[in-house]
Amino acid sequence: MAQDANGGGGDQVSSVDQERIKDAIRLTRQEEFDQALTLFESHLPGLSGGTIADRRLAAAAFSYYGLCVAMVRRKYSQAVDYCNVSLKANFMDPDHRANLAQVYLERGDRRKAVETLNAGLRLEPNNTQINLIFDQIGRRRRPVVPFLSRDNPLNVWLGKRRARSTHTNPRQRQTRR
């Protein structure tokens, strides 16, 4: 049995925790939030004080844990905090932004969710997860007359006409960024 600096079998415990955290991330992606939350709460503490690899995995796992906390416990403030821990540690990973956006959507904050998703798309324009979320919630199209404000009555009226004409034939519908 491998010995850690304290004389215990830390390496084996660490690898078990790593595997369970990877399982929890997989379950979160499959939307099995209750099962994932149980695994996270059992095995995340074991990684937090471990090796550098353990701490990196723990930091990455926090956004998935945050998503589970939002979906199961409805503790949105805590969930946002957990997701932000992952974003600070892995700011170039758009998947953490997708998780944070899902937390915002779950708490009913569409504006922040869209901002977060757009930030993720700037990092990786073809990110599957982010594009799936946008497909579910829809994307705003550009104003018909771009130099006028979005709430200008002419833009509102023309936008409604455009929407009505594209809804009559779904094949003509196009999403713009």
Q: Does residue 30 have a pLDDT over 60?
A: yes
149: left (phi over 0), alpha (psi -120 to 50) or beta: beta
Which CA distances in Å does 26 have to 68, 143, 159?
12, 39, 41
The token duo for 47 is 């990684």
**Each residue's pLDDT tens digit, 120-149:** 999 999 999 999 999 999 887 888 999 999
pLDDT at 3: 38
Cα four-point dihedral sign 166, 167, 173, 177: positive
* pTM exceeds 0.85, yes or no: no
**Each residue's pLDDT tens digit, 69-128:** 999 999 999 999 999 999 999 889 999 999 999 999 999 999 999 999 999 999 999 999
Residue 126: CB atoms within 10 Å:
8
Q: What contacts 128, CB < 8 A, 6 or more positions away?
A: none
Q: Does residue 54 have a pLDDT over 70?
A: yes
Average pLDDT of the chain?
85
